[in-house]
Structure formats: C-alpha cells, structure tokens
A and B are shown apart, each in its own frame.
Chain A
C-alpha cells in the first residue's frame, strides 16, 4: 500500500480501498430492480397492421422509424415481442400473411422476411436482387394462390417478384428494364389473376403493365404521355383508377387504365375550389372513390364520380389525417379521419362511398403537449349486438402512440423516448416543510416492521412469504421515488430531449415521467417545416446564494439542418417543465460554447458562434457582459472542420463592427490552424474532457512513494485521423495502406503535445478523455482484432518538486495558476490491449469529488454496458510487476482486456439500439449514476470502489438496535452485580 498518512480517518479509507482491490461488482439476483430501471420502447410507428383473429390474443404489428418490428398487446400496449433490425436494414413495409406470419420487406427491398406472429421467431428469409435501385413495394394479396401457395408480391430493385408465403421461395420474377421507369403502385384487383404495375417514366410518361399473376407473363404494356409532367405521388381511387397532379401542382389528372386502355381526365384545381392558394400536394391514400389534396391553407377531400368527374366533398383548414382502409363487410370499406380542433381531436369513421354518413363520430380530449396527429390506423371489432365497433391507433407528432376506443384513450406509449438526442441532469427541489406527524408515525411503524422482517431474513427465520414481502418492500421503497432532494444525491431529474423535439424529465428513482413539454419552437409550423432540436445545456444550476431560483436548461433548436437556418433558444424550468423564455435569434449558430463563468444568479455564460465567426454572448445582461469583459483576453475557441481536415483556433478581437450588431457581439480572429492533408489523414473522432469533471488531485503516487504530476488541462483535444482509404468499408483496405494517428492538441495555442501512429489500424474510433488520460478503441487489421489503447500525460516540469520541507512550508508553485503559453514539458505513457467486442459508445464514471477510482463504461455491440476498471488500462502495467508495484495495485500485463461476465452493469438486460452512456455524480463520493439510452432506456447506480462511505442498503438497523439495547442491559446488570460484590467484599 502506498498510502502514507498520519491520520486515523485515512486509515479506514486505506483499508477500504485495500479491500476494493478485488473488483467484483456483481449483483445478487434479488438486487435486480432495486437501484436500476429499464424501459422498453419502439420508436415512432411508420406502419401498423392489426391481427385480430377470432382466436388468440389481439395484437398489432408495427414497424417504426427506429427500425423495430414489434407485436403490441391491443389491450394494454405492452410489447409481446420486438426485433431491432440493423441501421442499414431499414424496413420498407410490413404486412400479415395467412393470418399467422408477419412479412417484412427491408434493406431497400432486397430482404424479405417472415416472422411467426405469436412468438416473433423468424420463419424464413429471402434475398431479392434486381437490376437497379428503385422504390420497394410490398403487397400481400388475401386470396391469390399459385398451386395452393399463397403469394406475396414484391416490387423492388426494378424487378417484380412473386414469393411463396410458406417458405419464401421466389416463384417467378419479372424485370422492368426500362431505364427511367419508376413504379408507384402495384395493384392486384381482388378476385382476378392480374397484377397491374403503374408508374412514371421520364417524368412525363405514364406506364401501365398488366401481368399474369400465375406465371409473371407480361400481358399488356401501355404508355401515355402527358406533356407537362407529373408530381411523384399518386392516390389510388379504385383498382383501375389513380389520381395524380401535374408538375405545377395545379391540375388534377384522373388516370384510368380499364381493360388496358389508358385515359386521362384533366381537372384544374381552381375549377373545384375558388381560392386554391398555392400549389397542392396529394396526400397518399387508397380510399376507394375519394382522395385528398393539401394546399398551404386547406385540406380538400374530392370524390370521383364516374368517368373522371370530380366533386369536392369537404374543404377544411384544420389539420386532418386519413387512415388506411379497412374492409368491414362485402363491398364496404371504412376509413377514419382525424381532425384537430383546439384541445380536442375529432375522430370520424366513414364508409368509403358514403361521405356524409358517419359510422362513428367522437371527440376526444387530447393533451396539447402531444402535437398533431401524424398517422392513423383503423381496426374494427364486432360488438355483442353484431354491430361494428372501431378502434383507432394514432401516432402523434411527439412520436407517442395511442389507442382510442369508445371515445377514450385506452392506452398510450411515450415512444418518443426511443430517440433521445441529448440528456442532462437536474437536481430536485429541497424538502422545505417537514412531513406531517401522522405520516412520520406511519412511517416509523412501517420502518420498524420492515426492519424486523429484514432481521428475520438475516437470521434465516423468514418464511417464503416473508421473503417475498421483503423483496416487494425493497422494490417499491417509497424513499427512492420521492420528489425531493435526498442526502446522498441519488434522486435527480434526467432532462431528456428527443428527436421529436419534446423534453421529458425522468425521475432517477423509478424512471417515471415527471413532466413533459413539447417546445413551441420545435412544433412544425408555417415558418419552419422541419425544426430539429440540437442540444441541451445546463443554463442555471442554483446552489449556495441563489437557492430560491429554479434550475433551468437551455434547448437549442434550428429550423432544418443548414447552419444558416434560424435558431431558437428556449429556456425551460426543470422543476415545472414550463418554458420560461424563448429567443428567436437573428444570427445562425454553428457552435455553442458554455463558459466556465456564472453570474450572480448562477446563470452560466454561453458563447454562440455564428457562421460568420462572430461570437455572441448570452445571457444578454450587463452583469454577464462585465464578467465576460474581465476574462475577455483569456477566452479562445476552436473549430474542427472534419470535411476538409482543418482544426482552427480563434481568439476574440473586439466588438462587432457591423452597425446592426449589439454590444454582445464580438469579432474573432484566426490564431492558428492544424491542417491534416487529405492524402494522409481524415479526421474521424475528436474528444475533449467534460467541462464539469472534477479532478481531486494533480499528483499520482506510484510505487516507492514516488510522485508523478498529471498534466491536467481542460483545453486538450484528442483527434484521431485515419488514412483516407481506411475510412471505407471493412475489408476494402490492406493493413499496409491503413494507419491511424492519434494527436493531442492544445486548443489554446494549437501546439501538438503528442502524436502516435498505429500502423495497420482503422476506425471507427471511439474515445473517452478524463483527467490526464485518453482511452480509444479501434480495429487492428493485422491482428484482425479490436484494440484499446490508453495514453496518460504527465507534466515533467513539476517532477522536481521533491523537497519535503518546501512542501510542508507551502513554498512551492504547484497550485499557482498556469498559462498555456508557457511551454509545457509533458511525457506520455501508453499501452495497447486487445478487446473482444466492437463498441457502440464509451463513457467514464464521474464522482462528486473525483477521489473514487474510475471505471470505463463500454457499450458493447450486444447492447450491453460493461464496466471495465481503469486499472486494466494502466500504461505502467508490466508482465512481472515488482512487489511495490503489486502493492500499488498494478495488474500483471496481459495481451487482452478481461471481460468479466459479472461486471456487466446492465446484468441480464439489453439496451436495444444503444447510442449513448451518460454518467452523473451523486452527492455521495463513492457513487455515480449511469444512464444508457438507445431504443431502450436503462439507469443504475454504480460504485466503482464499492460504497465505502455508506452502509449498504440491506444493512439491518434492527440488529444494530437490538445489539445496542442488549449491551446497555448487560452493562446495567453487570454494574449492579459488581456493586453487590464490592459491598460484600467490604463487609468481609
């Protein structure tokens, strides 16, 4: 042990850290769910198919934008089974075949799979190749049979396939080789053996192919030219008629291809509606006889009444969504319409040929925070009186999924949480007034009862019922889900920004949603069609003197992906979820730099850089400006231009010279630039230290009481570049022409502090930077294995601070502020190890004071989170460590990093589609909170060196109490006895 300290309290610490040298962090089975929670989501639903057979449970099969196929229970919305396909295997269409198979078409129409409906097992998979890339269409006809085989018709990659539903065998296929032919619809009129493929060629030609469904023989091929061209969207109004728009969006074309003859009917929109207000688009639907078009102001429903005559049936300026078509009885087809009206939505179910008669009309109160209805799927059931009842599945703008039935929301799923963009943590309110007395008494009784049960458990006296009671009591301990701050800092709010633009606050105790807020700036509106949420920053974290303020977060959203697009800053109170303020900026934003300064109300100063390299200071108060002016000459910024391989450093110059600019705008000047020539390197990863990371000490004590000084700087940037060839597909490059270079760059001066080249290595690189070390993960082509490397940086210029007396008297300059312009003398130590897994994300644990040893959290390809002790990645490891090094805790060197199954933080669970891992320090130094997000969410507490500063959760207070009582009684009894004996002795 290298711990030399005179003071007794440290001895206990020494003992504890000594015991922690055996790093086993496994859980017992009954501890699962005590501190962790796991939530499963599916993402925004793209397509839903109901499976409501007479027998069996009612389910809905959905495919989502997160590439999930799932089977949901219609009664409660729970997931029966779920499959996450890879990100390069995007689902194009789903359907149900034969009532028991789920058919999915994915990967741009080249993979067709069949899954068993009840349990989600895959039945078969077939690969469908074709001559060229094209739109892919999936059609599962209900009663088309070829030799007793039910057939699936797939148009993909420019080829029409007929696939057997039973085993996935391709029965026939037919190529569409015409260069520019683009299929839009595959139609199979029920009861016939014909398949129609309709589409456009060369933007102004309409083509129709009539194909024999039995053998793929081409029966007819007709084409017709329309001079002014088409918009690429059609609406199917009958099995032999489609409606399209011309390229200007002002003329409706009814195209009928009855008996193989193509005929056009042109109807200008202006002849139907007086004021069309701009070009229209067709809302894709397949309701027989009716289609919908949308202009800027209106949604117009138009009926086709024989021979291409059109008639407007409804014109509305409410947001309207049309569902799929549901055949309810012979020749009758129903569909649902959902319209927004204030805080309610109106649901109407209509028969396709009878617009005015409603089968169902309901108004349902809808939470404003869910935004607009995006998609509607309809399903029916037979009531006991033989009439039809309808249930409707709706997908909202915030990606949530709701089932409506009988005018009420039966269940809802917050599937927006499947696509988390950014996470930040916030404190809960401080408990102000004490809890009421009655509650305390109740709690005291419960507390004692609980502890008596626990005592029984420890003394092995508990019956099986007691054990079950203990377990359930531990799981739903009310303590962990309270809405106030706790002493240990375990209870916090996780503020989460989703891709839909909704903010959620999740309680760390049980993962429930405390509040959710759909930001006004992220609603789709006339001025901004595709707003995107970018990032989340902690705006105000009150402590000390600003306790009365509520903490708030800053959400940066932008209208579209371009860097010049207008930006909106929204400030949201994290206690209530209310939007405090929102600023529409006049300038664009390419960088947001949180500065390490706060004003008197604990608002953090932020610097926003626009595309003209002007820096704008927020908040725009005079106090912030004063603080900023004071530090003006010490603030720098850098930009990484990864497309052309340049890293540039900038400094602030003066106030903006534009007349329009305000006093919070500053000009900047270029200071330095590091250019990576495109023939030698391409930037693939950059990592810096987290701004809020706390480092306890600058010294590292090594064996024999020697000391090394860590080079700890906030302004270090780790950059990884690979050879341009090495950034392609795996297998496209030989080890000789691939290399990976890791740089450490000082972002104030542009000085390259360290550079190391790994020959024969390639990306992807995942890296994490903490204190004075970087760990990065890459692929070694020579060894055909993944590798992890560690670089530790030490400050050599401080190494001669060895005189004890100088240190005792404080005559050293180790804690005086340093400038990066004084030349640092650094040495680095590095080492590489093989690692079995490929990695999705790497993070490191962070604790309140930075004393506790660190663990790396590796998100593995299997969607699990592995905790790996930093001691395994110590460049001072050697094959035969000396006795002193062993005592220091250095592990003998091995070529690969061990994967201990017990050290999976996620134990038996999987965080499907894992994207990021976030660690938040708790107030208790030993503990860190870990949040992993992907399609699923997972949260747990982690103590990398065990909980050396607190009693474990299953500590028996009752036993302690009993022991104390017994001891007091024993003392009293022995005291009386000894007194009596003494008296007797005196009388002798």
Chain B
C-alpha cells in the first residue's frame, strides 16, 4: 500500500486520509459532512483525473511486468551460487540449496501480495503473475535438482530399504559344545 500512496502523493502536496484504506464509497459508514457533495468534487477534475488514471494504469502494468521478471535475476544468481557450492554435502551447499528451495516457495505463497499494489480494473495482471509463478517454479526445480545432485532425494532403492529391520526367522536353534 505504501507504493499506492506514493503515487497519489505525487499530485497532492500532502493528504490526510480519514477513511480506512478501502476507497469504495459503499463501504463507508460515516455519513458525508453537511454541505459536502461527493459527485460535484469528482466531476470537477474528471478530465484531468482520467488522464492521470490512464498514465497510472500504464505505469502499473509496466511495473507489474518488471516485478514478474525479477525472479529471473535471482535464478541466475542462485545458479551461480550452486555452481560455486559444489556437489558434496557440507554446511555451505546445504544452506544454499535450502535457501534456493525456500525463496521460490515463499515467493509463490506471496504472489497475491506482490501484485497487490498494481491491482487495477484496467490492468491485466494474469500475464505477469503467470510469468512470476513460472520463474519461481523454475527456481524451485533448480533447487530440487541441486538437492538431487547432492544425493539428498530418496530416488534409489537403498533410500527405502536402508532402515528395514532384518526379517524374522521362524525357526530357532541353540546349543553348542557340551558343558
């Protein structure tokens, strides 16, 4: 929301917003002060504001695409780090691998939040979102691949049988040299 306010702030020197953040008039439960008519204010600078709104939505769409592409840089950096870390299991490589797994997951969880500032009726956010998700999934795949090269994925038979207890024997035989 900070960014949104910043945009508004560019045309006003300062503003006090008494209402809560939701701007839809229907949600207001405080009646307008006497002598104040909302319609006349809106109409006063409607031409200017429409122009401004167009510019704003353009700007938002552009920003949304930028944000959607941002994981790509991350991806490159992560790849470089992984290459640096090597393929043996030690603290550094484990740390990098787990951060490589964690970053995309946390980013995917917060997809809605990331694109919220650019939410607009006129802006189509589906494209950027999909790109964002795809890139993060790519990051996740990279992390999993790294995990596999480190040998930490249970993809072999040995991973599943290594803790199997020995099978019980039906028969029992004891004895030995006589006392």
Contacts and interface: CB of A to CB of B under 8 A. Distances in A.
Contact of A696 (B165, B168, B170, B176): B165
Contact of A595 (B159, B163, B174, B176): B174
Given A696-B165, A697-B165, A712-B166, A591 B178 contact: yes
A697 B162 contact: yes
Contact of A707 (B90, B94, B158): B158
B32 interface: no
A607 B152 CA distance: 49
A686 B178 CA distance: 12
Given A697-B163, A699-B164, 13 more contacts: A6-B153, A11-B94, A14-B89, A556-B179, A596-B172, A637-B173, A637-B174, A688-B176, A705-B157, A707-B158, A803-B157, A807-B157, A807-B160
A713 B152 CA distance: 32
Contacts of A709: 161
Nearest to B155: A804
B151 interface: yes
Prevailing SS type, chain A contact patch: mixed
B31 interface: no
A815 interface: yes
Interface in B121-161: 151-161
Contact of B158 (A563, A699, A815): A699
B99 interface: no
Interface centre among A691, A801, A807, A816 (most CB of B within 10 A): A807
B167 interface: yes
Interface centre among A558, A607, A696 (most CB of B within 10 A): A696
Closest 6 CB pairs of A and B: A593-B174, A807-B160, A636-B173, A705-B156, A590-B178, A707-B158
B176 A640 contact: yes
A380 B89 CA distance: 76
Contacts of B151: 1-4, 705
A802 interface: yes
A491 interface: no
B169 interface: yes
Interface stretch (A29-37, A178-186, A817-825, A839-847): A817-825
A821 B173 CA distance: 13
A538 interface: no
B161 to A, nearest CB: 4
B58 interface: no
B154 A5 contact: yes
B85 to A, nearest CB: 15
A807 B164 CA distance: 11
B171 interface: yes
Given A3-B151, A6-B154, A748-B173, A563 B161 contact: no
Contact of A747 (B155, B170, B175): B175
Contacts, number: 169
A701 interface: yes
28 contacts: A11-B94, A15-B91, A535-B179, A556-B179, A591-B174, A591-B176, A636-B171, A637-B175, A640-B178, A688-B176, A696-B165, A697-B165, A697-B166, A699-B162, A699-B164, A712-B167, A714-B173, A715-B173, A801-B161, A802-B157, A804-B154, A808-B160, A814-B164, A815-B165, A818-B168, A819-B171, A820-B169, A820-B170
B89 A11 contact: yes
A457 interface: no
B164 A698 contact: yes
A171 interface: no
Given A4-B156, A4-B159, A699-B162, A634 B170 contact: yes
Interface in B85-104: 88-91, 94
A475 interface: no
- Taking residues whose C-beta sits less than 8 angstroms from the other chain, chain A's interface range is 35 or more
Interface string A527-557: 0000000110000000000000000000010
Nearest to A650: B175
Interface string A663-706: 00000000000000000000000101001000111110100011
B171 A748 contact: yes
B1 interface: no
A612 to B, nearest CB: 13
Nearest to A606: B174
B164 A818 contact: no
A616 to B, nearest CB: 14
A220 to B, nearest CB: 54
A638 B169 contact: no
Interface in A584-627: 589-596, 607, 609
Given A4-B158, A5-B159, A636 B177 contact: no
B173 A804 contact: no
Interface string A550-570: 000000101000010000000
Interface string A215-233: 0000000000000000000
A698 B154 contact: no
A804 B157 CA distance: 5
A804 B177 contact: no
A499 interface: no
Given A698-B164, A701-B162, A819 B170 contact: yes
A640 to B, nearest CB: 5
A188 B177 CA distance: 51
B163 A696 contact: yes
A710 interface: yes
Nearest to A707: B158
Interface string A635-677: 1111111100000010000000000000000000000000000
Contacts of B94: 11
A4 B167 contact: no
A714 B169 contact: yes
B179 A534 contact: yes
Interface string A784-825: 000000000000000001111001100000111111110000
